[in-house]
């Protein structure tokens, strides 16, 4: 019997030209999590759970999350959020071009 390959979705986020960070905030991110495919992004993802609970899936590894969880997921790393499709949850996200941010910070100076 053939084993079906798992589909993995690429989610591309275009960052603003003047800042290597994109913030996904607000009511748009209050929804039932768990219906999405395993996916990956073209930038580092930092997520914060305001409320809800479930399991983050990173390949074969599964880690429980709830209110106050902070996730840091490298670019191109397959993952998914499984909230069990029960209740509405709220997450907010930052997508960061880490290389560009660090490059810009090297030339940043704080002056008294």
Per residue in 25-41, pLDDT (tens digit) is 999 999 888 878 899 99
Q: What is the pLDDT of residues 65-98, one digit of tens each?
A: 999 999 999 999 999 999 876 789 999 999 999 9
Enumerate domains of the chain plus CATH numbers: 19-95 (2.60.120.10)
Give how far Cα 32 sits from Cα of 6, 28, 74, Å: 22, 11, 24
Q: Going by C-beta distance under 8 Å and a sequence separation of 6 or more, which residues neighbour residue 100?
A: 20
For the chain, give the mean pLDDT.
89
C-alpha 67/C-alpha 54 separation (Å) is: 10
C-alpha 96/C-alpha 80 separation (Å) is: 18
In this prediction the pTM is 0.85
């Amino acid at each position: 019997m053939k084993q079906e390959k798992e589909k993995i979705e690429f989610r591309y986020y275009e960052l603003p030209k003047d800042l290597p960070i994109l913030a996904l905030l607000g009511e748009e991110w209050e929804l039932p999590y768990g219906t999405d495919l395993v996916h990956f992004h073209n930038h580092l993802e930092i997520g914060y759970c305001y409320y809800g609970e479930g399991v983050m899936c990173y390949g074969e590894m599964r880690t429980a999350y709830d209110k106050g969880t902070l996730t840091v997921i490298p670019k191109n790393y397959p993952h998914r959020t499984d909230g069990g499709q029960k209740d509405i949850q709220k997450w907010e996200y930052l997508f960061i071009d880490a290389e560009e941010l660090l490059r810009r910070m090297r030339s940043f100076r704080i002056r008294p």
